Amino acid sequence: MRNLHPAVRRGLVELAVVLVPAGLVLLGAPSFSWSVTAALVACLLLPLRHIWPPLALLGAVWGLAGGLGWLPAQVALYALGRWSGRMWVTLPWLALPVVSAVVPVLLTQVLSWQTIVLMVVVVILYTASPAALGLLVSTRARLTESLRQLEVAREEALVASQDAARAQERARIGREIHDAVGHHATLIAVGAAAIAASTGEDETRRGAEQLRILAKRALAEMRAALGLLDGTEHPAGFTEIAALVAGSRAAGVDVALLDDGEPRDIAPGVGRAVYRVVQESLTNAARHAPGTAVRVELRWRPTELQVQIRNAAPARTHRRRRDVQGGGAGLTGLTERVTAMGGLLSAAPTSDGGFLVAATFPLGADPAPGMGGERSLAERR
């Protein structure tokens, strides 16, 4: 039965609901000449309970009056109880079958009052039992659905509680990092400023000033990463690449920045990702290939922006190139950041012993509405 198609299964069940009561009706002893016909009609009208259960009950009234309509009437009463789901809705309809079954007996037979009371009680029980069963099944279905909804709500509340706990812990860690690292970065910046103000050597003054600028920039970027900006500052983005390259050049890195193609406005998120790729690559080149020339290329294409950072082979070519570690993220972090913007990132040694970091960002979509795009480096210059 379970392997049958749902429509076939429903059809067989409905056929059984009609034919079984009809077969039992034919086995009964009719009280009137029309009793069998009325009861069979009541059986044939049982499918109406799917449209409106009271229709099936109304169809069983003449069968009850004839004395053979109890089976189809009880099926209709059960459907009525499930349909109504409320006692106060079901009770008025119970009066109809009780009256239909009792009145013909009182009109055709002379009975004692004790027999009449017993008959009425039995008729009420026959009428109320299937309706009460339908009410219980309906109530159970509603309770099951309520329990399911409560379980879903409990799971959602548990997930929300866990998310809130994780967010609270991340905020606590962020505050601790900000307090600890920010304190030391501030001391470095203050110390560098003091050295720049007190020294008489130009080279020392320039170095101290550069150190102060780098400490201040690191503090600002840390605050941006931790979400602690107050709105007056902004995270480093595409327009700061020129300043980043200039800062690296001032620190002694032989770096060149080249634009190729027609610049376009890009979304701030893409701009920040490009900035991080360039920053991490310059830091990596300065750490693992000091003294080598670095070339930063921004290639503007109709549908994408290609970013390439290439450095020549270091003096000791046997030194193994490690993952990018500057700025708090390695190649894994860069890959996640670029992928989040819909781009691709690759990093590998070149045939001449150097190293190449290449990232591609799609430019098919305009910057997000309300966020504005970042201007190109050419416009910033």
The side-by-side arrangement of strands in the sheet containing 304-311 is: 254-260, 293-300, 304-311, 355-362, 344-349
Is 1.10.260.40 the CATH classification of the domain at 238-380? no
Residue type, 293: A
pLDDT tens digits for range 277-293: 998 888 888 888 888 89
What residue spans define the domains of the chain? 6-153, 238-380
pLDDT of residue 366: 43
Residue type, 81: G
Residue type, 312: A
pLDDT of residue 239: 82
Residue with the two structure tokens 């992928």: 339
| Inter-residue contact 268 to 237 (CB < 8 Å) | yes
pTM of the entire predicted model: 0.46
pLDDT of residue 136: 94
| Inter-residue contact 324 to 356 (CB < 8 Å) | no
3-state secondary structure 20-74: HHHHHHHHCCCCCCCHHHHHHHHHHCHHHHHCCHHHHHHHCHHHHHHCCCHHHHH
Which parts of the chain register pLDDT below 50? 229-233, 317-329, 365-372, 378-381
pLDDT of residue 298: 94
Structure tokens at 88: 């106060």
Q: Classify residue 278 by burial, with Cβ atoms within 10 Å: 0-12, 13-18, 19+.
A: buried
pLDDT of residue 151: 93
pLDDT of residue 330: 64
pLDDT of residue 228: 53
**Alpha carbon of 342 to those of 236, 301, 303, 372: distances in Å?**
20, 16, 12, 18
